[in-house]
Every structure is written in structure tokens, then in C-alpha cells.
Amino acid sequence: MPNLLIPCSGPGTRSIGYTKFHKALIRIGDSAVIDHIINSFEDIEKIYITLGYEAEYIREYIQHTGRKNVEFIEIENWNSSQIASFKQIPRHVFEEPLYYNACDNWSTHVGVVQYNTWYTCKPDNSEYYDTSEDAVYSGISFIKDSPEYYDILQATDINRNDLLLLQKLNNLQSQPLDNWNDVGNIESYHSVRQDASFSVLDKTHQEIYSVNGRIIKLFTDKPNIQPNANYPHPQPIQHSEHGLSYSRVEGKVNPVNDDFDKLFNNLQDTWRFSMYNNIPCVDRTLWQDKTWQRFDQIVQQFPQFSGTIKLNGETIDCTRTVENIDWDLVSTGITGACHGDLVVDNIIVSEDAIHYIDHRPGVVTDIFYDICKFYHSLHLHNRNLEKYYLTQTDDGYIIKLSPSDEDELRLNQFHLSPVYCLNKRKIELGVGCIWLSMSPLNVDKELNKFLFLLAIQQLKKYDTTYKE
């Protein structure tokens, strides 16, 4: 059986601006581009992946997928030309017939061939691609005479364009692909995007995949999830420097009706236990400092939000509204078991269990942060985020959020709970701080703007010190 070579060492400068990590890790549907590449080939013996730019992310992702037939090849001078990088690949890679597939494109099925072959396609924007006569090179090839190709590679003075190297082989043929997908430029990327089977906010600092029965998450910083008896997480959890993975469990995400009753009763029992113990805590870092930090970030995106705006017909001084928050009330809470990001989209209710994902262990010890997070998600969750309304006119901003009937029922249930009735102003101010803290973090800049305006409107509503 032949092997497969996927070069992932280069920086992919054409894709800068719409990628979070290496372009081979762009999520299409549930999985990364590199998975689509691998799955397009049949009967592959071994997979060689060259690493250079953002090598750690690719290595960790592949490790989390559980693939065993992979050999990573470190390219030292990865920032040089394409062919110069190829020359650093060791000879043993070219001892057997070899499929080659660039890291930013794939076909759903690459047909088996018997000769040295370059696969062709006909994209709409052919000016982005290397061409030969009327055929466009797909970036996919089969090198039957691998030792000969290696010798040609080492002897060439060509700097780029692997097609020119292929054309030096004997018995070279072309083979059209039935279909071809590309993420190498933004136009083609938008044409091949697919929705995932799960719903998540598209955040700038992380990506989420579902591969081989596992959820895989990559972060720009170091993740940390630890088991929590009060909020049990799907197991087993595998950590790496920039990622984590765990078993995908089936159940109801963002539960309603009886499933919500089951969940909410469970949460109230947990909160009631902490309130009974009544161990106070004051965390200004979590509430005050974090809110101001995120305020500064959103103002960097939208400088007008540092001053006075008009929102739904009301004049609001944004900076003053944040200054007027009752920080003593918001920052004083109760110590207890915490999830850290307790939103309905991080909860899976199955028939026999409740699973909690995306914990932030050790960061949060105030149960009111969990309570406010949960309350926030009854207003805003992945199912209704597409329903927000935001427009800007000559007379300021207009925002609106239309909850569904199910949302209304859940909110009413929360409003009747003892924890809300006894702490209404604290929770309402807390949810305003959370919306503000969320506002600079999303890829969708209009959503960032909406979240900030929603936060300012909320904080102004419950500000008893504000005077016109």
C-alpha cells in the first residue's frame, strides 16, 4: 500500500486573517481540513506530516484524534521556499509509492492510479492556482517512482511549484477529480464552509472539533479541566499543552421542559448547600477587574463606546455606567463548588445523567458567578444568538432580543426561584458584567457590539446612583 505525505510546515500567508491556527486545522463541518485530506484516501499504509509553523497545534490535534499511523517530520528552515522545505524531508519517506496532498485542499475521494499522476480540477477562481495548459493542478499527486522523485528534488534549483518537479518524472499522467475543496484563499474557503453537528460560539482564541467519537478543543493558551464531583465531566479527559479532548456523550444540550426541570432542581440543590454553609468571599478580580479589562478591550474595537451613546432612545454615558456599578454588592459572594462557565450550552442532559463540559476549575469559587452565568444563558444561548437585532441610525443604536416561548418559560421558572427572589439586583448586575466581559471575545464583531450594548442597557437599568 502507498503512503501519504501532507506538508504542513509552511505559514500559509494567503490564509492569514481567517485562520485561528494553522490552515490545516481550519474546521470544516465537525473536523479539521487535515482529517478531510486523510479520509479522502483508501488503503494508506503510513501518513507523513511535515511540521514547522505552529507545529505544536498540528501535533497535538493529531494525537487527540487517536491516529496511530502518523510520523511527524520536523522541518528546521520551514520559512524558506516550498521546495527548500521539501528537500529537508528524509530519504526514507520516498522509498515507497507516495500520495502527496497539500495541506489546504482535498477531494472527497482520490481515485487509485497506477502511474505517476497529478490530479486536476477546475475551480472558479483559477487565477489563484498553478496551471498547465487548460488543467489546474489541485495540489494532489501520486508519486509511484518515489526514489526517482527524491533524486530530482535534491538536484533541482526550482524554488517553488511542485508540479514542475512532477513533470520531470517519466510516465506522468493527469487525472481529473470528481470534486475539489480548497481553503487556501478566503474566496474558496467561504465556498466550502460547513456547519458542525454541534453549536458553539465562534471565539477568536479556540476551535472545537468532533472526531472519532471525541470532542477536541484547541486553545491559544493552556487549557485545564479537572473532574468536579458536583459537575461531572465526560471522561476520559486527555490534556496537552494547547488542547484537550474527551468522549462525546449524547443527550439534550440546552434542555427544555422536563429535562430543564431535572437540571434546574439539581443546580438549586447544589447552590442551596453552599448558601447553607454561608462562607463569604470577596473577589474583585473576577468581577470588577475583569469587567474593566474587557471594557478596555471592547473600546479598542469600538472607541465610541468609551463616551456617551444613544441606545433605544436613551442617552447613556458608557464609562460612567460601569463606574457606577455597585462593586461591593457584585464582588461579595458565597464560596462553594463552581463550574466556572455554567451555561446551558455546556450542559448535556441524558436519560441517566447530567454532564457538564468546559469547566474552569480553581478560577471561580463564588457560586454567584455560576448563578449569573446560568441566568445569562437563559437569555442568550447558541440557539437564539442568531435572533438578536442590532441597527445603527442617525439617532444612535437600537437593539432587541426576542426570546422563544421555551426561553420565556425557563426565565419565569428562574425568576420564581428563591435564589433569584432573594438576590435579584445582585444577579441582574452580575449578568450585565458577564455580557460586558463576553463582548470583545467573538469572531463576529456585530455580536460583540450587541453584547456590549445589551450589557450597558442592563447595568444602567439596575444602577440606582445614576442621574441624568
Extents of the domains making up the chain: 3-186, 250-461
* Residue for grid cell 481540513: 33
Q: Which of 106-115, 347-356, 390-399, 421-430 has the highest mean pLDDT?
A: 421-430
Q: Report the candidate in 30, 50, 46 with the shortest Cα–Cα distance to residue 38.
A: 46
The structure's pTM equals: 0.79
Q: In sequence order, which residues have a C-beta less than 8 Å from that of residue 202 and are 6 or more positions away?
A: 442, 443, 444
Distance CA 328, CA 123 (A): 60
Cβ-count burial of 125 within 10 angstroms (0-12 exposed, 13-18 middle, 19+ buried)? exposed
The residue-averaged pLDDT of 126-135 equals 56
pLDDT for 467: 55
The predicted-structure confidence for 348-375, as pLDDT tens digits, reads as follows 999 889 999 888 766 788 999 999 999 9
Give the residue, 371 or 230, on which the prediction is more confident: 371
pLDDT score at 154 = 94
**Number of Cβ atoms within 10 Å of the Cβ of 146:** 22
- The confidence score (pLDDT) of residue 129 equals 53
pLDDT at 123 over 80: no
Question: Is the pLDDT score of 13 beyond 70?
Answer: no
Average pLDDT over residues 209-223: 89
* 267-283 pLDDT per residue, tens: 999 999 999 999 999 99
* Of the options 3.40.190.10, 3.90.550.10, 3.30.2350.10, 3.40.50.300, the CATH number for the domain spanning 3-186: 3.90.550.10
Task: Tell me the C-alpha distance between 317 and 321, whole Å.
Answer: 6
Candidates 3.90.1200, 1.10.10, 3.30.1360, 3.30.420; CATH matching 250-461:
3.90.1200
Q: Is the pLDDT at 14 greater than 70, yes or no? A: no
| pLDDT value at residue 462 | 92
Contacts of 373 (CB under 8 A, 6+ apart): 339, 341, 342, 343, 434
d(CA 145, CA 169) in angstroms, rounded, equals 8
Q: Is the pLDDT of residue 17 over 70?
A: no
Helix (H) or strand (E) holding 135: strand 135-143
Among 79-93, 228-242, 352-366, 426-440, which range has the highest average pLDDT? Answer: 426-440
Supply the mean pLDDT for the chain: 90
Distance CA 166, CA 139 (A): 11
What is the share, in percent, of the chain residues with pLDDT greater than 70? Answer: 94
pLDDT band with cut points at 50, 70 and 90 for residue 384: confident
